[in-house]
Amino acid sequence: MTGNAVRTRSGEGPGGSWEFAFALPHPRLRPGVMSYRGIRLGMTRPRRRLETPIGAATLLLGFGEPVRISRAGRAPDTLVSVYCGPTTTPAVGEHGGRLSGIEVLLTPWAAFTLFGTPQHELVNRTVDPDELPHALATSVGELAAALAALPCWADRFGLLDDILGRWRDAGTPSSERVARAWSLLVRTGGAIPVPRLAEEVGWSVRHLENRFREQIGLGPKAAARVLRLQRARRLLAEGQSAAETAALCGFYDQAHLSGEFKAMTGCTPREFAQARRLPVQASPVADRQSGEATSLVLSARSEDWSGPGAHFSKTGRIG
C-alpha cells in the first residue's frame, strides 16, 4: 500500500477530459521520495506549460505519449519518460493534448541514491532515465509499462512503493549529513547562510560544497537561491506585494528579487503573479508541488515564444 489515501480530481468539458491522482509514498520511502502524481489528459488541443525551478528532482514515468521539453541554450528533448535533476532555469513542456503517466518528486539526494549518478552532471538537463548509468534490476521503461497495465491508481502507487524501495536498497547510499543540510535549507526557505549550514553538519564550507555538487547537483548557495525563489513565488501567488515578499524572503531589495525572478523563471514577479490569476490557469493544471506556485499554462502556438518565458515580453499571451 502507499503511504496515504489516493486523492483524485477529474473533469470533462469542451476542452477535453482530465484526471489527476495524488498520494504520498510509503513512510519508509520518505522524505527522499516526496510525492506521487498520476496524470491522464485527453485534451482537444496541444498543451504548453512553463515549469519553474523547484527544490526537487522530477521523474516522469510516461505511459506512451511523448513530451517535448525546451530549455534556453539547449536543443529540445522529446521523451516518453523523463528525468529532470536540479535546475536554476525555466523549461517549457509541450504535448499534443493526450498525456498519461506518473510524476514522482524526489529530493536530489534520493535521486543520487536511486540512479547512482553525480547530480552535478544533470544540472539544467532533461534526460531519458534509462540512459543514466545505474544498476537497477528493472528499467524505467519496463516499470512504466507495468504501471500502465494496472487497473487503478492505488495499484500503480503500490507497485511504485515496492520498486522504488528495492532500487533505493540497491543504490548508492547518500550522506546523512547532506540530507540534513538539505532539510535545513528547505526548512529555512534558503535563508540559512552557507557557513552556518556547514557548521551545523560539522563540515568545512569547501567539503559541503563538494558533497552538494555530488549528491544535490547545485552548490549550497545555488540551492538556496532556488528555495528562496520558490518561497517568493508562493507568497506572490498568495497576494503579497513584491516589496513585502523581498523583505520576507531575504532579498536585498525589490530589484534583487526581480532580477533573480527573471533569471530563474523568464518573467518578472508582476508578470508571474498576474498570469497566475488569469482564468486559463484554473484549467487542468496542477502545480508540481502541492501548495506551491510552480507552473503557468502557455499559448499552444509555438510562434508566440522564442524561449522559456519570452512570450511575456512579446505578446503577454497565456493560455
pLDDT given for residue 105 in this prediction: 96
pLDDT given for residue 32 in this prediction: 96
**pTM to 2 decimals?**
0.89
Distance between CA 182 and CA 188 in Å, rounded? 10
Tell me the per-residue pLDDT of 282-315, one tens digit each, with 9 for 90 and over.
555 567 877 778 888 887 654 343 444 444 333 3
The mean predicted confidence, pLDDT, of the chain is 87
| Structural domain includes residue 165 | yes
Final residue in a domain of this structure, among 253, 269, 285? 269
Distance between CA 51 and CA 43 in Å, rounded? 19
All three cell numbers of 201, joined, read 553538519
pLDDT given for residue 303 in this prediction: 39
CA 307 centroid distance within chain: 19
All three cell numbers of 92, joined, read 517549457
Do both 239 and 298 map to the same domain? no
Do both 164 and 201 map to the same domain? no
Do both 87 and 184 map to the same domain? no
123 to 28, 87, 119, 223: CA distances (angstroms): 27, 5, 7, 11
* Residue 284: CATH number of its domain: 2.60.120.10
Do both 192 and 141 map to the same domain? no
Query: pLDDT band at residue 62, thresholds of 50, 70 and 90?
Result: very high
Do both 19 and 163 map to the same domain? yes
Tell me the per-residue pLDDT of 256-285, one tens digit each, with 9 for 90 and over.
999 999 999 998 888 888 887 766 555 555
Do both 148 and 263 map to the same domain? no
Phi (first) and psi of residue 293, to 5 degrees: -105, 95
Tell me the per-residue pLDDT of 112-139, one tens digit each, with 9 for 90 and over.
999 888 999 999 999 999 988 665 567 8
**What SS3 class is residue 154?**
helix
High-pLDDT (> 70) share of the chain, %: 88
Final residue in a domain of this structure, among 269, 285, 303? 269
Do both 196 and 258 map to the same domain? yes
Asked whether 58 and 105 are in contact (CB, 8 A), the reply is: yes
Do both 147 and 282 map to the same domain? yes
| Structural domain includes residue 255 | yes
Do both 165 and 310 map to the same domain? yes
Contacts of 191 (CB under 8 A, 6+ apart): 224, 228, 249, 250
Tell which residue, 236, 307, 289, has the closest CA to residue 103. Answer: 289
Do both 51 and 84 map to the same domain? yes
* Residue 256: CATH number of its domain: 1.10.10.60
pLDDT given for residue 277 in this prediction: 74
Number of domains the chain is built from: 2
Do both 257 and 294 map to the same domain? no
pLDDT given for residue 306 in this prediction: 40
Query: pLDDT band at residue 209, thresholds of 50, 70 and 90?
Result: very high
Do both 56 and 135 map to the same domain? yes
| Structural domain includes residue 288 | yes
Structural domain boundaries, residue 210? 176-269
| Structural domain includes residue 319 | no
Contacts of 67 (CB under 8 A, 6+ apart): 60, 78, 79, 80, 82, 93, 94, 95, 99
